[in-house]
Amino acid sequence: MTACIVGWSHLPFGKLEGESVESLIVKAAVAALDHAGIGPQDVDEIVLGHFNAGFSPQDFTASLVLQASDAFRFKPATRVENACATGSAAVHQGIKTIRAGAARVVLVVGVEKMTSTPGPEIGKNLLKASYLPEEGDIPAGFAGVFGQIAAAYFQKYGDQSDALATIAAKNHKNGVNNPYAQMRKDLGYEFCRHESEKNPFVAGPLKRTDCSLVSDGAAALVLTDTQTALKMRRAVAFRGAAHVQDFLPISKRDILLFEGCAEGWKRALDQAGVTIDDLSFVETHDCFTIAELIEYEAMGLAKPGEGAKVALEGQTAMGGRLPVNPSGGLKAKGHPIGASGVSMHVLSSMQLTGEAGGIQVPDAKLAGIFNMGGAAVANYVSILERIK
């Protein structure tokens, strides 16, 4: 336990007209410091998670955090990026800084403003997180990449449309009670299962309800060393934190195994001295429903090819063996790239401190988080536990 989360903030995700990257950063940063009970003068370092890749005309955004307070002037601020795992990359960078003794208090902010970008440009920007020499011409952008993964999975293990619809319906049902979620509507299994005018196929076997939402949003958290955290209002400790990077080209690996995800889970659980069955819940990266299905297998809930059973039996529903995405996941909550990983850590901390409201998992003790960039290329796993 080398670092703890001692305060946080989470803005509602969605199509936030009138907001900018700067305004979202400022609101999230100010609120997180207030929640932690500290001022900007107490912060030693700032880390910003911001993917951009064409979404924001303002690049070089690390110093935008300084717009939250003049007291931030001259403090080190760095922007980090690792595709869709950018938020967790920022969190883990803060952990490393504290572990190295280079800072006592680190402010981490994750942000993205996506919805002001035209649809075709969004797809083009997101596809930059694939290996362009081999995957850059796949139709339908990143949805096309995961559409091909889903098609390959179906070819090997049979049609899993029932399981994918179950995952989508579960996450949308969970999202109804998340005040920060972009879509708070229980779509139901039947709607998610069947093609319709409102739920057309997007890529391969993936329908619209299998794809996460384009979103704007920001979240922030405050990290400190354990000794400092125990003197503060609350403390959620990292019992494990692992980052595993895999090859970018899909052609260099078996994409149906998500081996980087599996290795990340193994390392983080080993660090924490626990097993997957010790966890109270998991927030996992459901950019597409097929991703969540394969992640069940990678995290050890099911053997390869048997993830559907976990979904169909309700093992990952609220009240099941291991609730997965009680927040509604990226599917219902939205997926503002740079903010998603920070959001996962904030909402998990809320669970562990009993502050999660309508999405609260009863008596939550241990949280598992998986955030990935690209198709299981950047893999971040965190194991959290409340210690105060």
User: Both tokens of residue 95?
Assistant: 């952990």
Burial 137-165 (b: 16+ CB within 10 A, else e): ebebbbbbbbbbbbebbbeebeebbebbb
Residue 119: pLDDT band with limits 50, 70, 90? confident
pLDDT exceeds cutoff 90 at 2? no
Which pLDDT score, from 0 to 100, does residue 67 have? 98
What is the tens place of the pLDDT at every residue in 39-89? 999 999 999 999 988 999 999 999 999 999 999 999 999 999 999 999 999
- The one-letter code for the residue type at 308 is A
Cα 216 from chain centre: 14
Instruction: Please answer whether residues 282 and 323 qualify as being in contact, where contact means their C-beta atoms are separated by less than 8 angstroms.
Output: yes
Task: Give the chain's mean pLDDT.
Answer: 97
What is the tens place of the pLDDT at every residue in 252-310? 999 999 999 999 999 999 999 999 999 999 999 999 999 999 999 999 999 999 999 99
Which pLDDT score, from 0 to 100, does residue 259 have? 98
Which pLDDT score, from 0 to 100, does residue 252 have? 98
Mean pLDDT of 339-346: 98
Which pLDDT score, from 0 to 100, does residue 363 have? 97
Q: Structural domain boundaries of the chain?
A: 4-115+214-229
Which pLDDT score, from 0 to 100, does residue 199 have? 98
Q: What proportion of the chain, given as a percentage, has pLDDT over 70?
A: 100
Mean pLDDT of 142-155: 97
Confidence (pTM): 0.98
Which pLDDT score, from 0 to 100, does residue 118 have? 93
- Tell me the C-alpha distance between 275 and 7, whole Å: 27
Task: Tell me the C-alpha to C-alpha distance, in Å, between residue 77 and each of 41, 99, 344.
Answer: 14, 17, 22
3-class SS shares of the chain: helix, strand, coil, % to 5: 40, 20, 40
pLDDT exceeds cutoff 70 at 1? no
Query: What kind of architecture, by CATH, is found in domain 4-115+214-229?
Result: 3-Layer(aba) Sandwich (3.40)
pLDDT exceeds cutoff 90 at 140? no
